[in-house]
Chain A
Amino acid sequence: QKEVEQNSGPLSVPEGAIASLNCTYSDRVSQSFFWYRQYSGKSPELIMSIYSNGDKEDGRFTAQLNKASQYVSLLIRDSQPSDSATYLCAVKRAGGSYIPTFGRGTSLIVHP
């Protein structure tokens, strides 16, 4: 059973702080890793993809991947109240699979 685990939260951080969201996965053949942001009542939006060990930065967002430890994280620097949302981690295995496996998401609250 392929699983993607996330702490459901809520994770509460003050405005301007760094928010750290974590995700672990069980399938060692996983190859591609994604972070989605979902505002309440809205559909998920892809914000980051990462495929290699290490860090990948995009603006205030940094994705970190460690395949040996089977975790991927998302850091949000200078958190803003507009970052308050649920963040979904998704993992796709190598090979011909068309289907990413989603975690249940972590709720982030950024308070002024």
Chain B
Amino acid sequence: SQTIHQWPATLVQPVGSPLSLECTVEGTSNPNLYWYRQAAGRGLQLLFYSVGIGQISSEVPQNLSASRPQDRQFILSSKKLLLSDSGFYLCAWSPRNTGELFFGEGSRLTVL
């Protein structure tokens, strides 16, 4: 069966520090991969999605970036965090074009 792992689960970072969140999927190949952010009391905001290695599409211009160095690995990064980057970050995978999303456990980021 397919599983998705995301880490770290919780982190507290100072403004201006870098960020790296990692996500891996097991038990499938060629998944679509997504990064979402959910601010407190808000809906899901799509940040990036990827349909293949090295193929990244950005939905919202910001100081975040994403990379997909391997088929089942998706990384979210920032060089300098802002206060507004605080939130609940969710990685998800989808079988090709089904639209069904399977989420990781999430990473809760607090920027101070």
Which residues of A line the B interface, CB within 8 A?
32, 34, 36, 42-46, 49, 88, 90, 92, 96, 98-100, 102-105
A46-B43 in contact (CB<8A): no
B1 within 8 A of A: no
B65 within 8 A of A: no
Q: What number of B residues sit within 8 Å (CB to CB) of A?
A: 21
Bound-complex Cα distance A44 to B105 (A) = 9
Other-chain residue from A49, A98, A102 in contact with B43 (beta carbon distance below 8 A): A102
A-side contacts of B101, CB under 8 Å:
34, 36, 44, 46, 90, 100
A-side contacts of B106, CB under 8 Å:
42-43
A98-B100 in contact (CB<8A): no
B49-A98 in contact (CB<8A): yes
Other-chain residue from B46, B90, B100, B103 in contact with A99 (beta carbon distance below 8 A): B46
B24 within 8 A of A: no
Within 8 A of A (CB), among B57-112: 59, 90, 94, 97-106
Other-chain residue from B32, B42, B90, B99 in contact with A44 (beta carbon distance below 8 A): B90
B51 within 8 A of A: yes
A-side contacts of B103, CB under 8 Å:
43-45
